[in-house]
Amino acid sequence: MFSFRVLKVDGKARVGELLTPHGRVETPVFMPVGTQGTVKAMLHRDLLDIGTQIILGNTYHLYLRPGPEVIEKAGGLHAFIGWQKPILTDSGGFQVCSLSRGRANGKSRVRVYEDGVEFRDHLAGDLHFFTPEKVVAIQEAFGSDFIMPLDECVEYPTSFEYARSAVEKTLAWLDRSIKAQKREDQRLFGIVQGAFFEELRVESALRTVERELFGYAIGGLSVGEPKEVMYAVTELVCEHLPWDRPRYLMGVGMPEDLVEAVARGVDMFDCVAPTRMARTGTLFTSKGKINIRNERYKEDYSPPDEECDCYTCRNFTKAYLRHLFQAEEISAYILNTIHNLRFYHRLMENIRQAIKEGRFEEFRALWHGSSALQTIHRKEVIP
């Protein structure tokens, strides 16, 4: 029911094939974030039209509403949301820590224990407790193809002692997640933590790989660290992950991050950047980002990106998109999101083609420009 194989290699970059009960995914792949069972401002037909292969759902948000019981009764997440291609759900651990920070009614919103995480939700402030077993059970109710274990993601910067504690909890929770798993039509990934400490990252990677899981994720990045540190950690971890298993860089990133992570051997990505930035008027184009709210586009009757083949660029101008945004029309968010996600998918398509043709480094250099690439190539030291 599940398999992964590397089809083509160019340096450390690789094209792969993921087979799942809900279809085939060609990697490297970008997974649009469908936090609450929908990619914001998008219909599934639009996702299919722009080339989406797999989407991501969020356990924390879907647990709060509509609840796993509702989704399970509907026949699982695929049936509930009407999406028949693969779905990956994350554990909700990051959202528990990020959305539950601060205090509610004078009480801390989140506390991490050996057994799990106690938190007050961001909606009503009600108290909940996530254990590794509960997180697996929720995702089994969802029936998503790929599921993630509960882990502890630490902030940047952090101390070595706290990062080590988080590594130990993440590994202990992974073992409990493995034991708790009952369904055979899902695959569990392990998550490598360790913050920005080389020793901890290597240890976490090696000990996680010992569990012989279907795939491996790199967590705890894109949390405020400099890009060169993100790239260095990604490269270090990939060196200690099995070649024949998919590698997933969680929550990353911007287009340049995808190119650099692929160069280091990553296969799967997710990030809210293209959808969130679309809703604030930022469009990714072949000539760089543009802010469609800018006055300069008021009478610009050219498409957002003349090199783009998306529905938005084929039919509308910058002037019209600016008008829609200024008028606060819902269609502004829709059209902007269609374009941004198509930009990301085209980027991944071009990356895959470059790898197949053995010219990925040429593609990478053209993407960054030679001077930027020289900077990225410099040896960086992980703190």
Residue in the structure block whose two tokens are 């650099």? 260
- Name which of 1, 51, 48, 50 is nearest 23 in CA terms: 1
Looking only at the bridges linking them, the beta strands covering 247-249 and 215-218 are parallel
Residue in the structure block whose two tokens are 């799990």? 116
Distance between CA 268 and CA 15 in Å, rounded? 11
SS3 250: coil
Where in the sequence numbering do the catalytic residues fall? 90, 270
CA-to-CA separations, 131 to 105, 128, 146, 172, 331, in angstroms, rounded: 24, 10, 18, 11, 41
Distance between CA 153 and CA 103 in Å, rounded? 19
Confirm if 245 and 213 have CB atoms less than 8 A apart.
Answer: yes
Distance between CA 41 and CA 336 in Å, rounded? 9
What are the CB-based long-range contacts (under 8 Å, 24+) for 366-371? 367/256, 367/259, 368/256, 368/259
